[in-house]
Amino acid sequence: MFKSIALLRSFPTAFRISELRPLLLQQVFNSAASQPARTMSQQALSVRPIVISGPSGTGKSTLVNKLLAEFPGCFAFSISHTTRNPRPGEVNGKDYHFVTKEEFVKLVEENGFLEHAQFSGNMYGTSKKSVRDISSSGQLCVLDVEINGVKSIKQSDLSPKPRFIFIKPPSMEELRRRLESRGTETEESLKKRLDTTKEAMDYADTGAYDHVIVNNELDVAYEHLKGILIEDLHKIQGDKLKKGQ
């Protein structure tokens, strides 16, 4: 029913990364897992997640990876739920929350997911709890989602309220050039990715995002993104220092 890459793009990055970029997820997961338990006397820092969206190839991963490099330990990606069986080496609660179909459906009925969908006969979803846990652990949760994910998160009661950020390409020609030069696309997948671009750009034009960043010069775009988050990042760093991390 779905082509894998098309469906993967409908999920938050946490899902995509756990499928496509396991090392990165491992790195950020480890940083989340190493958080010591808070004592009652510590005032919990609750950090607003970011929802980052934009056409494929516009530079979302490039920008987020720069943030991860400059602010190590400050970011985390949520861990998705799935009904599929673990693959060799995958760990429950680390690579995914592996659950039964019944457990998954119960969570859907309880309105526990920000987003969920079926893929190759298995269900996948990002729970609100997994995002909230990161926020309350004092880290900044990054959700890299397609337009449907953005709409679904906008309708949710996620707290704290996320910041919605759109990464815009300088032009369609440049977007195509970037996707081609990345060397990851077939002619078919390139066409699919470019086909969804107009819808994403039109949606951004409705004012759906708190911030729109044009990724022309990478360094300029990065400074823009960092500027949006810097206050939170300083708080996170201060909190980590207090905790002796």
Ligand X SMILES: Nc1ncnc2c1ncn2[C@@H]1O[C@H](COP(=O)(O)OP(=O)(O)OP(=O)(O)O)[C@@H](O)[C@H]1O
Chain residues binding ligand X by CB under 6 A are 54, 56-62, 178, 181-182, 215, 218, 221
Pairing of strands 81-82, 163-168: unpaired
Give the residue carrying structure tokens 């990161």. Answer: 134
Provide the strand spans (E) within 23-148. 50-53, 75-76, 81-82, 97-98, 113-119, 122-127, 140-144
Shortest separation between residue 56's beta carbon and ligand X, angstroms: 3
State which residue has the least CB distance to ligand X. 59
CA 234 to each of CA 11, 91, 185, 230, 243: distance values in angstroms, whole numbers, following the listed order? 29, 32, 38, 6, 14
Q: What is the distance of C-alpha 166 from the center of its chain?
A: 13
Shortest separation between residue 133's beta carbon and ligand X, angstroms: 25
Of 33 and 218, which has the nearer Cβ to ligand X? 218
Shortest separation between residue 16's beta carbon and ligand X, angstroms: 7
Shortest separation between residue 216's beta carbon and ligand X, angstroms: 6
Shortest separation between residue 86's beta carbon and ligand X, angstroms: 25
Shortest separation between residue 228's beta carbon and ligand X, angstroms: 17
Of 218 and 230, which has the nearer Cβ to ligand X? 218
Task: Fill in the DSSP letter of residue 176.
Answer: H
Of 47 and 63, which has the nearer Cβ to ligand X? 63
Of 201 and 221, which has the nearer Cβ to ligand X? 221
Based on its alpha-carbon atoms, the radius of gyration of the chain, rounded to whole angstroms, reads: 18
Greatest CA separation found in the chain?
57
Please give the torsion angle defined by the CA atoms of residues 105, 107, 112 and 116, in that order, rounded to the nearest 10 degrees.
-30
Q: How far apart are the first and last CA of the chain?
A: 46
Of 229 and 236, which has the nearer Cβ to ligand X? 229
Shortest separation between residue 36's beta carbon and ligand X, angstroms: 32
Which tokens go with 152?
Answer: 């679904």
Of 116 and 178, which has the nearer Cβ to ligand X? 178
AA identity, residue 78: S
Task: Fill in the DSSP letter of residue 211.
Answer: E
| Residues with Cβ within 8 Å of residue 45, at least 6 apart in sequence | 138, 235, 236, 239
Of 134 and 179, which has the nearer Cβ to ligand X? 179
